[in-house]
Copies of this chain bind each other. A is one copy, B any other.
């Protein structure tokens, strides 16, 4: 009868956290919107406690600004931040990729390819922006797992979570990322060929290219 048989006891805090994160990332909650605890609580049918805890976690993820006694707001979009985050990704992810390439096995390639296929398929669907972004993150991550760098990956995922907002904005305005998909496939091919230099170079360009487009978009948006 119940659909959620294998869902194991999510706390309300987690439910609220995921709901709010998605709403902010998707733009459903616009940048700068004040996030009133009681309003969110009654809207999500919980008390203020889980809402507060979720907001606190979102603050540490950088998606929310939480000021004591004042309240929380959805973090604003900022061109400088976007530029910095993507440059940081370029720096760290090329390093990860360089460390990963030699260790990648056929299994890693297969997993990455499967994600890439899904990514491409998602573009042809109407409701793509929801899924494209997380698949994009997953694809990138799949190229680095062989480096076996748990702590680094955790930090990268965190940075990515922030980039997500900008990527979704980007996608929303462009309609599709055909260039990105082409670059992704090429990137994976370079990995398969173990061409470290070419792969890192391409990844670097891929990220900085996104950055400059996004920065321009944000500047226009927030002006």
Count of this chain's copies in the oligomeric assembly: 2
Interface residues on A, range: 20 to 34
Binds B, one of A111-119, A131-139, A147-155, A184-192: A147-155
State whether A155 and B150 are in contact (beta carbons under 8 Å apart), knowing that A11-B68, A60-B60, A68-B14 are contacts in the complex. Answer: no
Q: Any chain B CB within 8 A of the CB of A168?
A: no
Give bound CA distance, A155 to B61, whole Å. 11
Q: What B residues does A60 contact at CB under 8 A?
A: 57, 60-61
Q: Any chain B CB within 8 A of the CB of A8?
A: yes
Interface of A is mostly: helix
Q: Any chain B CB within 8 A of the CB of A121?
A: no
Binds B, one of A22-30, A81-89, A122-130, A211-219: A81-89
A68 x B151 contact (CB < 8 A): no
Q: What B residues does A85 contact at CB under 8 A?
A: 151
Closest to A85 in B: B151
17 contacts between A and B (CB under 8 A): A8-B68, A9-B68, A11-B68, A11-B69, A14-B68, A49-B49, A56-B57, A60-B61, A62-B154, A80-B150, A80-B151, A84-B149, A84-B152, A85-B151, A87-B152, A88-B92, A155-B155
